[in-house]
Structure 1
Amino acid sequence: MSPSRNDPTAASPRAGAVVTVILASLSMLGPFTIDTVFPAFARIGEQFGADSTAMQQVTSLYMLAFAVMSVFHGPLSDALGRKPVMIAGLVGYVLASIGCALAPNLAVLLVMRTLQGTFAGAATIVSRVVVRDMFAGPQAHKMMSRIMMIFSIAPAIAPVAGGLLLQVGEWPIIFWATAIYGALAMVAVIVLLPETHPAAARSPLRVGAVLRSIGRVGRHPAMIRLALVTAFAMGGQFLYIAAAPIIVVDLFGLGEQDFWVLFVPIITGMLIGAWLSGRLADKVSRTRLVDAALLLAVGAGVLNVVLMLIHPHLPLAMVAPALLSCAIAVAFPVIQLEILDTFPDHRGAAASLGTLASLGFNALLAGVIAPLVTASLLTVALTAASFVLIGTVLWTMHRRAGRRT
């Protein structure tokens, strides 16, 4: 596959590597913002007089705002270009991070976290569209997989980094660190990242045009099916991430420096899965690859339930979640490309709406479902397996609908 006419990496492999690292760093912003603060939950709760359920809202409100605003970031990038939207989002993210660091009480912290989520999606979501602007076919699949491999490191190092920062200072230091991260990402976008959506290809910047674009994409049956597949399949894995403070501290009985016990196996599975997805990009068709990945995910979910019935303790407690993460990482780049390729003239809107369902569901997981299903490791395993099974059924329905069409 030859590079597209907008591919600024065609002249230099080194330039391509730089763009890959920048896009991966932008993709890491979301999970890094979620997971870095986990080790500080106990300290924040103690200072502000908040219990574990109230502290879950620190994650839930961030993700809810991320989900709601994700509807608009992509369509705005279709009209304004990719770089202006990412830069504006990063400016807002840095300011919101500083607001979190200076929060005098839980109410202000929750408002600032909501603003963090409002702006963070601009960089995270639009960076996926940039990949498809620049590459096509198996090359786009390989690039998305490479980015996911780098992105996968974020949930593993973020809580570890948060724990290390707590050894240096109190919990606000974590938000100062995320502000610095956002500022560095903004400089990289301004200086090093090319604009991949030329003015001639942009849609009109009118409220009516943006809303029509969102409506056209959002009503499409294929979009609805693929968005729900992503939400439920990813939900089986994300449940462990959203409930990490409860699982690590309450169910595993560990401390604020021990989040690696949960995240390292999950992220190792994601790295392996993303690597496999890229390796198989030009050897196996997209649909067959997702078929096999989701079948493996269902098997991992069932194995998880069985192991938690037999021996609900470490290290067995993390065997099946690692396998589940591997399977989801194989499927995720493919499903994202399926969504973008369904709407080649409205990729920004497709990226936004394709993300909305999973983000909204993840916010529900963090704020409502996680506290309800974390009574034991078995209830967590049963819930995760149910989500993956629903996602697989939805994918099967999508495949059958595609054949009929």
Structure 2
Amino acid sequence: MLPVISREFGVGPARAGLTVSAVVLAVAAASSFYGPLADALGRRRVMAGATALLALATLACAFAPSFSVLLVLRAMQGVLVPGVTAVSVAYAGDRFRNADLPAVVGGIIAASVVGGLAGRVLSGAITANAGWRAAFVAFAIVTLAAALALARGLAPATGAPVIGWASATRGMLGHLRDPRLLGAYLVGASLFFGWIGIFTYLPYHLAGAPWHLTTGQISAVYLVYAAGVVASPIAGRLAGRIPPRRLIGIGLVVEALGMLAALAGSLPLAIAGLLVLVLGTFTAQAVAPGFVNVTARTAKGGASALYLTFYYVGGTLGSAVPGLALHAAGWPGVVATCVAGVGVGFVANWLLCGRPPRGRAPV
């Protein structure tokens, strides 16, 4: 879709890419707002309302008269997305037992992978046949249907006490003083830092020597994302038998090993490394949000929102810092930077997430 937008508005690839960056930055900036809001107003109301407004913002993108307006509307989409993503895990925590929560969160993560893959495929197909504006109309219709499903299909979260905005905000900020939650937030940041870093700069590696892959061939490599659909629910179920912190550590190690394998001079081996990277990433990502929800005793919406904030801040850094490494040291520099980022998450999980609350053993 980006090349088509570039041609229509007469902007270069870098400026067209701002339509993606605007969403990511807005998600990172707005995520912490939704935690207290959901704690104060209720999870279902916030999720349904944000999704309905997201449908309107998406539809408005289809009628953007200029690139600047499109950029503003994309940022509005980013502001609204955390109304679902930052609240859904907290809602699940209210509706399901702690023992069942990891499997439920794994299912949520798997669904997000399916949605991401479907969005990439469908946006390209619709744009090729009917234009990029038609793609936004189609996604607006789907999003509106989701809003109606949330409003009608979700039961009230009976386990969530509704608290005032001020109390909810204080509760959210108080989570930063809990070393276990702070460690989990750093894990989230490191996961997305490494993920975004590798997959943002991968095309430069694959398009260059010795492989010189075409754009279509590079796009096919990204099908390794689909492994996340398998890894997420499996990791969620395993979290009921393996301590979550241990499973997060395993996922981080596997992710780093996959990155190192992506240095291979053999294309099949490098792709296998990317597959391992995906499995490791989604193993940890399927477990970490549930760990946050179970660990937070109060203001669970705020706890989940902070996780998402750190997650997207890590992704924002991951889209920029490895680029400097690419310029300085090529693909090995990108991999080294991303492995170092994942290492930060491993250390945080090891040193911080294992600190027990008073009177309890480590998780």
Shorter-chain-normalised TM-score: which range?
Answer: 0.7 to 0.9
**What is the total number of aligned residue pairs between the two structures?**
355
- The 2-side partners of 1:330 and 1:113 are apart by 30
Deviation at 1:237, TM superposition (A): 1.8
Instruction: Give the match for residue 63 of structure 2.
Output: 102
Deviation at 1:93, TM superposition (A): 0.8
Instruction: Give the match for residue 168 of structure 2.
Output: 210
1:293–1:227 distance in 2 versus 1, CA, 3 Å: same
Instruction: Give the match for residue 226 of structure 2.
Output: 267
Instruction: Give the match for residue 272 of structure 2.
Output: 319
Deviations along 1:151-188, one digit per CA (max 9) or x if unpaired, are 22223222211111122211112211221121010010
Instruction: Compute the RMSD of aligned alpha carbons.
Output: 2.6
Amino acid at match of 1:194: A
1:87–1:163 distance in 2 versus 1, CA, 3 Å: same
CA contact (8 A) 1:246 1:374 kept: no
User: Matched residue of 1:138: which SS?
Assistant: coil
- The 2-side partners of 1:151 and 1:288 are apart by 24
Percent of counterpart pairs with the same letter? 23
- The 1-side partners of 2:116 and 2:311 are apart by 17
- The 1-side partners of 2:217 and 2:127 are apart by 13
User: Matched residue of 1:152: which SS?
Assistant: helix
1:330–1:317 distance in 2 versus 1, CA, 3 Å: same
Instruction: Give the match for residue 281 of structure 1.
Output: 239
1:348–1:399 distance in 2 versus 1, CA, 3 Å: closer
Instruction: Give the match for residue 22 of structure 1.
Output: none
Amino acid at match of 1:329: F
- The 1-side partners of 2:236 and 2:140 are apart by 32
1:302 aligns with 2:260: yes
User: Matched residue of 1:91: which SS?
Assistant: helix
1:145 aligns with 2:106: yes
Counterpart pick for 2:34 among 53, 57, 73: 73
* 1:37-52 correspondence runs (5 A): 40-52=1-13
Structure 2 residues not aligned, in runs of 5+: none
- The 2-side partners of 1:43 and 1:364 are apart by 27
- The 1-side partners of 2:38 and 2:173 are apart by 16
CA contact (8 A) 2:48 2:147 kept: yes
Instruction: Give the match for residue 29 of structure 1.
Output: none
- The 2-side partners of 1:219 and 1:370 are apart by 30
- The 2-side partners of 1:390 and 1:343 are apart by 22
CA contact (8 A) 1:78 1:197 kept: no
Deviations along 1:111-136, one digit per CA (max 9) or x if unpaired, are 01100001111012211111111112
CA contact (8 A) 1:82 1:197 kept: no
1:291 aligns with 2:249: yes
* 1:231-242 correspondence runs (5 A): 231-242=189-200
Deviation at 1:397, TM superposition (A): 1.9
Instruction: Give the match for residue 341 of structure 1.
Output: 294
1:185 aligns with 2:146: yes
Instruction: Give the match for residue 162 of structure 1.
Output: 123
1:288–1:134 distance in 2 versus 1, CA, 3 Å: same
- The 1-side partners of 2:13 and 2:163 are apart by 45
Amino acid at match of 2:37: L
1:107–1:315 distance in 2 versus 1, CA, 3 Å: farther
1:397 aligns with 2:355: no
* TM-score after normalising by structure 1: 0.79
Deviations along 1:22-75, one digit per CA (max 9) or x if unpaired, are xxxxxxxxxxxxxxxxxx111111222222222222111111111111101121
1:329 aligns with 2:288: no
Counterpart pick for 2:178 among 192, 209, 220: 220
- The 2-side partners of 1:185 and 1:279 are apart by 26
- The 2-side partners of 1:162 and 1:374 are apart by 29
Deviation at 1:333, TM superposition (A): 2.5
Instruction: Give the match for residue 122 of structure 1.
Output: 83
* TM-score after normalising by structure 2: 0.88
1:377–1:55 distance in 2 versus 1, CA, 3 Å: farther
Deviation at 1:371, TM superposition (A): 4.9
1:93 aligns with 2:54: yes
